Chains A and B, each alone.
Chain A
Amino acid sequence: MSAAPPDEPTGRRPRRRSLLGRLAGPRAPRSRLRRRISSAVRMVAALALVGGIYAAFTPTVSAQDTPALNAAAQAGKGLFDQTCISCHGQNAQGVPNRGPSLIGVGSASVEFQVTTGRMPAAQQGPQIERKPPQFSADQARQIGAYIQALGGGPQLPEGEDLHSNGDIAAGGALFRVNCTSCHAFGGGGGALSSGKYAPSLEVASDREIYAAMLTGPQNMPVFGDSELTPQEKEDIIAYIQNQKHDQDPGGWGLGRLGPVPEGLVVFLVGIVFLALVSLWIAGKS
């Protein structure tokens, strides 16, 4: 479940990511998967150990305001108190005009915002943009665990691969009725009102797409598990990832942006080429 099956799309993705990763900063993307698995194993062990000791030695802590935190959440709290607290406030209660309360947003939301680099936000604008993440995926999950422990909320399923069990054709139909209006047929994104936009899905991972549907970040509507069942979400992800890795059969896809680049090409390539030809073969003045 957690190990990626050796099919084509997942086999390709780490390489793509590595370029981005290099751009983003010093991360070793090639071993990331393995590292994550081993760290997960180690974490479970540590959890069991620490949890046990913790429970044994401090039985009265849970009587206080803050609920009992497991180790991951404890680590997440540390990170939260360093970085997020200035906007989202003590115990993620929110600070008026700076950041909303995070009670109830769930770990899925945190993981989406932090792994895509949208949080911590650089500045206020019409929209908070994707940028190189400041925290590792593990750290993001720790913060997520903390927020989850504070107020519950939607959580992501386990594993990196959330598309292999999806039905591409069914996902396509759902994608077209629910997603294309903003993210466009090609998944390249599109403009929204007043400077906001729906981002391109080009770099989005399975977990990010899943989390975005589940939590509705920023202006994206929420597609909870009753609107799109987990299976339907995987269908959609399967369609998106398949489309991304599906080479265009008709030549260069022109960004799959539709008639605008096509019109540019017919003038910049077609008319310009033929004008040069006529300049070559016919009189000049």
Chain B
Amino acid sequence: MKRRKPDLAALPGAAAGEIDDRLTLATPLRRLLNKVFPDHWSFMLGEIALYSFIVLLLTGTFLALFFDPSMEEVPYKGSFAPLRGISMSKAYESSLGISFDVRGGLFIRQMHHWAALLFMAAIVVHMLRVFFTGAFRKPRELNWIVGVLLFWMGFTEGFAGYSLPDDALSGTGLRIASAIMLSIPIVGTWVTTSLFGGEFPGTVILDRLYILHVLLVPGVILALITVHLGLLFKQMHTQWPGPGRNNRNVVGVRMFPGFALKTSGFFMAVFAIIALLGGLFQINPIWLFGPYKAAVVSAASQPDWYVMFLDGSTRLMPNWELRFHLFGHSYMIPALFWPTVVLPGILTVLPLFYPFIEARRLKDYRHHHLLQRPRDVPARTALGAMAVGFYLVLLASGGNDVIADKFHISLNAMTWAGRIGVLLVPPIAYYVTHRICLGLQQHDREVLSHGIETGIIKRSPDGRFYEVHQPLGRVDEHGHVDLEYAHWTVPKKMNRVGALIPTVRGFFFPLEAPPNGGDRPEAPVSPAPGREEIGSGRS
């Protein structure tokens, strides 16, 4: 048999042929390659969460090779001198081992923790984007629900991870968690003892949290992410309204190579910032906290930031304890129950149903693929601002002892400020945001009918001064422009209509000007008339 020299150049083609013979991939593959993604910076926020999660899986696998969740007490013999000889659980001992005796272990541990914080931060920021732009509306309610569930799953995962090292902060957090479970009416004590295998802290809780943390919850998160992306892929991304964009199309770049290049670069950027944070900013220095002992606590004991709002709500809660008598026995609902069980319950259920509540209120059951500018939906935007205001007060209260200490404010005053603020800030935020939205709308319409303020002041022959406005369309005899507000971005500066060159080139704008000059299809209005037409001011 004659041996033929393989033709390397033809190899990929031949291989592709062989694969297609078996799998009939040509059409679906091309469809994938050609899928169009709209382009906007705010669409990248969810990706931060996705890529943080990948980093979490990678670093978490590394940590799992060295971590032992056992609560058995052992004396520390590792290299960190200030703890040597101290009795501690194996979990804490192995966490110290990762930090001081595994090469690069501290770096990976810190990356893991920062990635977790970033994961949750990105989820929250992404949810805000989706909420304020109305991207959750029909047909995307299900994806919104999946997103809310992802937040709570991430919350659970994060809390379990925070508890695992068994340092003094972990243990304090767990103790509060057990108190929260105890506060649940009727079943509280049973749930708590069942989970802890008896009295707090027992000997099994870390093993249980460990399996939750490394298998069950990540599995659920992974499944939810798959559903989240699958739905996104199936339903296609929303887009901002603009010229040529409507409810039936997507305007953007094809997935390959444009979008893929961008998003893989972004993955690298997310990975990079996590690496930089992990190396340059110390996080959770467990060796300062020491092993968990039931009698030990520190000033400024806080959970990670995404749990902190619940700590805040707990601090602000007045000491209201319900007591009542049933069948000759006295029962109670502790004050702890309301801010830590009822509040998160409301915060889960309300967002889950929000898309349906809004649709019902507005009687709007159509499909929406175009986003809304927040200013165009003042009621929703104001509601969102109200929620954010409420959340921020709780978040700040979660750290109110640190704020009190660093800014020399009375701790009791901080608590009272939070109690009053949590009632006062939301309505104020609602009102102010509502007014701002209306004002911005008004200004958009004004610019459309009168033109852009140029900053050029003219003096007329009769001595009046007026500012020259650049109209955005044809001017009628009253000096007005008949442009309808189309929910698009309205240019408000001269350089937005191509009249001025951006001062800094290259960073926010491509270095190379597009070859065919200014008539880009994205320009929201027809190109500006020549500069000699400047002159029609307010009549």
Q: Which residues of A contact B40 (CB under 8 A)?
A: 282-285
Check A275 against B41 for contact (C-beta < 8 Å): yes
Closest B residue by C-beta to A252: B281
Stretch at the interface among B66-74, B286-294, B333-341: B286-294
Q: Which residues of B contact A26 (CB under 8 A)?
A: none
Check A280 against B508 for contact (C-beta < 8 Å): yes
| Residue from the list A172, A180, A265 in contact with B299, Cβ < 8 A | A180
Contacting B at CB under 8 A, from A226-285, are: 239, 242-243, 246, 248-254, 256-260, 262-263, 265-267, 269-271, 273-275, 277-285
Stretch at the interface among B7-15, B79-87, B179-187, B229-237: B79-87
Given contacts A169-B85, A281-B266, A284-B508, contact A270 B277 (CB under 8 A): yes
Compute how far the CA of A258 lies from the CA of B283 in the bound complex, rounded to whole angstroms. Answer: 8
Q: Which residues of B contact A249 (CB under 8 A)?
A: 99-100, 106, 282
B536 proximal to A (CB < 8 A): no
Compute how far the CA of A262 lies from the CA of B306 in the bound complex, rounded to whole angstroms. Answer: 11
Closest B residue by C-beta to A253: B282
Q: Which residues of B contact A263 (CB under 8 A)?
A: 117, 304-305, 308, 399
A150 proximal to B (CB < 8 A): no
A198 proximal to B (CB < 8 A): yes
Contacting B at CB under 8 A, from A48-99, are: none
Check B283 against A262 for contact (C-beta < 8 Å): yes
| Residue from the list B262, B266, B299 in contact with A191, Cβ < 8 A | B299
A275 to chain B, nearest CB (A): 7
Interface of A, helix, strand, loop or mixed by DSSP: helix
Check B266 against A190 for contact (C-beta < 8 Å): no
B269 proximal to A (CB < 8 A): yes
- Bits for B20-40, please: 1 = Cβ < 8 Å to A, else 0: 000000000000000000111
Q: Which residues of A contact B270 (CB under 8 A)?
A: 274
A219 proximal to B (CB < 8 A): no
B372 proximal to A (CB < 8 A): no
Q: Which residues of B contact A271 (CB under 8 A)?
A: 48, 118, 121-122, 125
Check A197 against B285 for contact (C-beta < 8 Å): no
Compute how far the CA of A184 lies from the CA of B304 in the bound complex, rounded to whole angstroms. Answer: 17
Q: Which residues of A contact B305 (CB under 8 A)?
A: 259-260, 262-263, 266
Compute how far the CA of A265 lies from the CA of B278 in the bound complex, rounded to whole angstroms. Answer: 12
Closest A residue by C-beta to B270: A274
Given contacts A259-B302, A283-B41, contact A194 B282 (CB under 8 A): no
Compute how far the CA of A22 lies from the CA of B81 in the bound complex, rounded to whole angstroms. Answer: 35
A4 proximal to B (CB < 8 A): no
Compute how far the CA of A253 lies from the CA of B408 in the bound complex, rounded to whole angstroms. Answer: 22
Q: Which residues of B contact A282 (CB under 8 A)?
A: 39-41, 43-44, 262
B14 to chain A, nearest CB (A): 36
Closest B residue by C-beta to A260: B399
A189 proximal to B (CB < 8 A): yes
Give the interface residue-count category, chain B: 35 or more
Closest B residue by C-beta to A266: B117
B269 to chain A, nearest CB (A): 5
Check A259 against B303 for contact (C-beta < 8 Å): yes
Closest B residue by C-beta to A184: B299
Stretch at the interface among B220-228, B410-418, B423-431: B410-418
Check A192 against B399 for contact (C-beta < 8 Å): no
B203 proximal to A (CB < 8 A): no
Interface size in chain A (residues, C-beta < 8 A): 61
Compute how far the CA of A191 lies from the CA of B406 in the bound complex, rounded to whole angstroms. Answer: 9
Check B290 against A189 for contact (C-beta < 8 Å): no
B419 to chain A, nearest CB (A): 16
A2 proximal to B (CB < 8 A): no
Given contacts A176-B296, A279-B41, A282-B39, contact A262 B117 (CB under 8 A): yes
Compute how far the CA of A266 lies from the CA of B115 in the bound complex, rounded to whole angstroms. Answer: 9
Compute how far the CA of A248 lies from the CA of B302 in the bound complex, rounded to whole angstroms. Answer: 20
Identify the interface centre among A190, A273, A285: most chain B CB within 10 Å of its CB: A285
B156 proximal to A (CB < 8 A): no
A130 to chain B, nearest CB (A): 13
Compute how far the CA of A95 lies from the CA of B218 in the bound complex, rounded to whole angstroms. Answer: 67
Compute how far the CA of A184 lies from the CA of B265 in the bound complex, rounded to whole angstroms. Answer: 41
Compute how far the CA of A270 lies from the CA of B42 in the bound complex, rounded to whole angstroms. Answer: 15
A99 to chain B, nearest CB (A): 24
Q: Which residues of A contact B82 (CB under 8 A)?
A: 168-169, 172, 239, 242-243, 246
8 smallest CB-CB distances across A and B, nearest first, come from: A190-B299, A263-B305, A250-B282, A195-B410, A278-B44, A260-B399, A283-B39, A278-B41
* Interchain Cβ contacts under 8 Å between A and B, 30 examples: A168-B81, A169-B82, A184-B298, A190-B401, A191-B401, A191-B405, A191-B411, A194-B411, A195-B408, A195-B409, A197-B405, A248-B282, A251-B281, A253-B282, A258-B300, A259-B284, A259-B303, A259-B304, A259-B399, A269-B277, A271-B118, A274-B44, A274-B48, A274-B270, A277-B266, A278-B44, A282-B40, A282-B41, A282-B262, A285-B240
Question: Which B residues are within 8 Å of any A CB, using their own CB?
Answer: 38-45, 48, 81-86, 99-100, 106, 110, 114, 117-118, 121-122, 125, 168-169, 240, 262, 265-266, 269-270, 273-274, 277, 279-285, 288-290, 293, 295-305, 308, 399, 401-402, 404-405, 408-413, 489, 507-508
Given A180-B296, A180-B297, A274-B269, 20 additional A-B pairs, CB 8 A: A176-B298, A177-B296, A185-B288, A185-B290, A188-B300, A189-B299, A190-B299, A191-B299, A197-B408, A243-B288, A249-B282, A259-B303, A259-B305, A262-B283, A269-B281, A271-B48, A274-B122, A277-B44, A283-B40, A284-B41
